[in-house]
Chain A
């Protein structure tokens, strides 16, 4: 039996540490509550205005909006949403391709900080993951990242408030919530 052939992806973060990472400062009110069954309910979509507005503070007290995703490659990770639109140019054999994205940068680039030491927000294989905020509001659909695979760098996504309008245009009456979501 082969015991060692298994690829173990990113770190899984325990509940207490996760909560502290989401709210690193005692002077900032917390709107994140770690669910007892580990399943964060998703409801609602973060608006363009909310994307631009930080609702939290980072370790240093600077304005911040933390976001969460669970992907196939790196499992659950926490990242920092930038309020800016990112203009991205990707180069390939066929030339350059430009697009605009919402951008998320890694929780902590500082390898000396053992507590966070988060690594990249996403890696190849995480595309298509949904990025959500502390209250489970949908922020963006992960499309790609820059930089080398093992180095923390910027992750890009398509804002959900915009994408959902496109889906709704194709499927009028589409709804993201389930009847018993309110329970």
Chain B
């Protein structure tokens, strides 16, 4: 990870924390209102009580997420800030880029990297991330 990518990464964690903090603020408000509604009885009390449970659950989940994300941020900043610690391998073969490479004419733009085995202690093999949602 280069310097800019690393800075962006740290910033993205901070941004995510910011979003979660806003969510906590809103959930706290909803919980307060929900408590009042469910206690005052009436036709909506049952629905309000149900929503209260949901919101309380979501609130505590979000609070845990913030705590964990803060820990993650500290860890990354401490262990990854030195550029040397972000090196995962070295290029061992990088032939010149060639277009119209014989015999089929394809582009040859390739490099082989020897990875540092210590950095891949939990290697899961070759996979493609289909994305988070």
Residues of chain A whose beta carbon lies under 8 Å from any beta carbon of chain B: 1-7, 12-15, 18, 34-35, 38-43, 68-70, 75-76, 85, 87, 97-101, 130, 132, 136, 141, 143, 156, 158-159, 162-163, 166-167, 170-171, 176-178, 180-181
Tell me the count of chain B residues lying within 8 A, CB to CB, of chain A: 31
Total number of residue pairs linking A and B with CB closer than 8 Å: 120
Question: Given the known A-B contacts A2-B11, A3-B15, are A38 and B130 also in contact in the complex, defined by CB atoms under 8 Å?
Answer: yes
Is residue B89 within 8 Å, beta carbon to beta carbon, of the partner chain? no
Q: Are B127 and A5 in contact (CB under 8 A)?
A: no
* CB proximity of B80 to chain A, nearest CB, Å: 18
Contacts of A18 in B (CB 8 A): 130-131
* CB proximity of B133 to chain A, nearest CB, Å: 4
Q: Are A97 and B15 in contact (CB under 8 A)?
A: no
Interchain CB contact (< 8 A) of A158 among B15, B108, B126:
B108
Q: Are A99 and B93 in contact (CB under 8 A)?
A: no
25 residue pairs of the A-B complex, CB under 8 angstroms, read: A3-B19, A5-B11, A6-B8, A6-B11, A13-B130, A34-B130, A38-B131, A39-B124, A39-B130, A41-B126, A43-B126, A68-B130, A70-B131, A75-B131, A76-B129, A85-B104, A97-B99, A99-B106, A100-B104, A100-B106, A158-B106, A158-B110, A163-B106, A163-B110, A180-B125
Secondary structure of the B side of the interface? Answer: mixed
Cα A75 to Cα B108 in complex, Å, equals: 24
Contacts of A76 in B (CB 8 A): 128-131
Q: Are A5 and B107 in contact (CB under 8 A)?
A: no
Contacts of A6 in B (CB 8 A): 8, 11-12, 15
Q: Are A12 and B108 in contact (CB under 8 A)?
A: no
Contacts of B91 in A (CB 8 A): none
Q: Are A14 and B133 in contact (CB under 8 A)?
A: yes
Is residue B68 within 8 Å, beta carbon to beta carbon, of the partner chain? no
Interchain CB contact (< 8 A) of B108 among A7, A34, A40, A163:
A163
Q: Are B93 and A68 in contact (CB under 8 A)?
A: no
Contacts of A3 in B (CB 8 A): 14-15, 18-19
A4: nearest residue on chain B (CB-CB)?
A: B15
Q: Are B18 and A15 in contact (CB under 8 A)?
A: no
Cα A141 to Cα B11 in complex, Å, equals: 30
Cα A156 to Cα B104 in complex, Å, equals: 15
Interchain CB contact (< 8 A) of B112 among A97, A130, A167:
A167
Contacts of A97 in B (CB 8 A): 99
B22: nearest residue on chain A (CB-CB)?
A: A3
